[in-house]
Copies of this chain bind each other. A is one copy, B any other.
Amino acid sequence: MSDHGILAVVSGFSGAGKGTLMRELLSRYGNYSLSISATTRQPREGEVHGREYFFVTEEEFLGMINENKLIEHTRYVNHYYGTPSEYVFRQMEAGRDVILEIEIQGALNIREKFPDALLLFVAPPSIEELRRRLTGRGTEGPEVIEARLKRAVEEAGGMEQYDYLLINDDLDRCVEEMHQLIQAQHRRVSNNRAFIRRIQDELNRI
């Protein structure tokens, strides 16, 4: 059908429920590959190298930049974050849809390099709800929650740069909407150049 897999970027405020959404999407549908970022920050409790992130040293990370092994990278709060390109390209060529869960600066870098990438922003139904969810986790103190809300202020400034907005007020519906938005991308004219060429050739032979 379409020429190759889709590159979809998912961003959103911390607490908007991206993690749960991604897990649910991947468990329901078989065609998605989640890209794993490389980072120089320390693993948090429970995080596994090669699952949440590839945890690398700053030297290793700078090496990846120099060898052009990252699609995009950004520096955020003294740490580097980046998307290793090999995995992403291999999956897309195999026809699989690849999801990058990254911050806004990374998303905009992707957009610049890959104009066909699909940029999705996941938002809570309201900021009050966002605060409730952040508080409800119970794992973080009030200063961390305030820091996350402050960060959300910055990120909100970039919402207009995305293609689609998903409001995560109902997990089940939000997963289906995300799936449909990514699948719709296979129907984009820019992803069907081979078919279009074939049709044009057939018509020219009439």
Chain A positions within 8 Å of B, measured between CB atoms, are 121, 123, 126-128, 149-150, 152-153, 156-157, 159-167, 177, 180-181, 183-184, 187-189, 192-193, 195-196, 198-200, 202-204, 206
**Per a CB cutoff under 8 Å, which of B127, B150, B177, B199 touches A127?**
B199
Report the bound CA distance from A203 to B204 in whole Å. 57
Report the bound CA distance from A153 to B203 in whole Å. 6
Q: DSSP class of A's interface residues: helix, strand, loop or mixed? A: helix
Within the complex, the shortest CB–CB distance from A187 to chain B, in Å, comes to: 4
**Per a CB cutoff under 8 Å, which of B157, B162, B183, B195 touches A200?**
B157
User: Is A149 in contact with B206, judged by CB distance below 8 angstroms?
Assistant: yes
Q: Tell me the number of copies of this protein.
A: 2
User: Is A189 in contact with B163, judged by CB distance below 8 angstroms?
Assistant: yes
Report the bound CA distance from A193 to B161 in whole Å. 12
User: Is B206 in contact with A121, judged by CB distance below 8 angstroms?
Assistant: no
Report the bound CA distance from A162 to B157 in whole Å. 30
Report the bound CA distance from A188 to B202 in whole Å. 35
User: Is B195 in contact with A165, judged by CB distance below 8 angstroms?
Assistant: yes
Within the complex, the shortest CB–CB distance from A48 to chain B, in Å, comes to: 33
Within the complex, the shortest CB–CB distance from A86 to chain B, in Å, comes to: 30
Known contacts A180-B180, A184-B180, A189-B160: does B152 contact A203 (CB below 8 Å)? yes
User: Is A150 in contact with B206, judged by CB distance below 8 angstroms?
Assistant: yes
Within the complex, the shortest CB–CB distance from A16 to chain B, in Å, comes to: 11
> Could you say which residues of chain B place their CB within 8 Å of the CB of A123?
195, 199
